[in-house]
């Protein structure tokens, strides 16, 4: 199991799409079922990238989505993930982990930039479908990451941040299920 997590974490950090990497290596996607422990360095590197993707893709959805419920969800995502970014920085400054471990400023890795680029090229119903699908996958991964770190993290400030943020991510995940059902 530890090897599986190390390979999956390495694939995420290298920007490989987890699901595609999982298929090629006969692994399963990153979920709460497959992830039981995450180290602080991985958590601190992954959170800002994922958070930036959530904000940027949702800003795009605020202008590109045609459905009012998706625009409202996107606005909520921008607010919640902007706050999560602020909370992350505060936890980083209080924690045992140095800020040198975290990416300098908001940026996307190759995987997330490619996803954002795909979204930028879509329009209409195709855009909405891609946005919902991407957000659903991103939240599955985020819930797995935050759950694992909340349970097993070794930096108390980061662990508290993970515990505090997890319910918001789970709420987003539930809301996405409703949006997916409404936009089939």
- Digit-by-digit pLDDT tens for the chain (184 residues) are 333 333 334 344 444 333 333 333 333 344 444 457 899 999 999 999 999 999 999 999 999 999 999 999 999 999 999 999 999 999 989 877 765 556 566 689 999 999 999 999 999 999 999 999 999 999 999 999 999 999 999 999 999 999 999 999 999 999 999 999 999 8
| Predicted TM-score of the model (pTM) | 0.78
In a domain, 17, yes or no: no
In a domain, 16, yes or no: no
**Do 158 and 95 form a contact (C-beta atoms < 8 A)?**
yes
In a domain, 29, yes or no: no
In a domain, 6, yes or no: no
**Do 98 and 2 form a contact (C-beta atoms < 8 A)?**
no
50-85 b/e with 16+ CB inside 10 Å = b?
bbbbbbbbbebbeebbeeeebbebbeebbebbeebb
- Say how far apart CA 36 and CA 79 lie, in whole Å: 29
- Say how far apart CA 75 and CA 146 lie, in whole Å: 22
Q: Name every residue whose Cβ is closer than 8 Å to that of residue 165 and which is 6 or more positions away in sequence.
A: 84, 87, 146
In a domain, 98, yes or no: yes
Domain harbouring 72, CATH code: 1.20.1260.10
Domain that holds residue 128: 34-182
In a domain, 2, yes or no: no
- Total count of domains within the chain: 1
In a domain, 82, yes or no: yes
**Do 66 and 124 form a contact (C-beta atoms < 8 A)?**
yes
């Amino acid at each position: 199991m530890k090897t599986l997590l190390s390979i999956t974490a390495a694939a995420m950090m290298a920007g490989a799409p987890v699901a595609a990497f999982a298929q090629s290596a006969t692994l399963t996607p990153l979920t709460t079922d497959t992830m039981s422990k995450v180290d602080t360095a991985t958590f601190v590197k992954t959170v800002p990238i994922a958070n930036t993707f959530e904000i940027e893709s949702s800003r795009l959805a605020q202008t590109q989505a045609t459905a009012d419920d998706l625009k409202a969800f996107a606005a909520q995502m921008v607010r919640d993930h902007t706050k999560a970014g602020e909370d992350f920085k505060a936890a980083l400054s209080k924690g045992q982990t140095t800020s040198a471990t975290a990416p300098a400023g908001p940026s996307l890795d190759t995987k997330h930039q490619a996803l954002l680029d795909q979204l930028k090229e879509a329009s209409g119903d195709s855009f909405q479908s891609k946005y919902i699908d991407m957000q659903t996958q991103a939240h599955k991964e985020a819930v797995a990451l935050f759950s694992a770190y909340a349970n097993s993290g070794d930096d108390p400030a980061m662990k508290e941040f993970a515990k505090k943020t997890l319910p918001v991510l789970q709420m987003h995940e539930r809301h996405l299920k409703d949006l997916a059902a409404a936009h089939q």
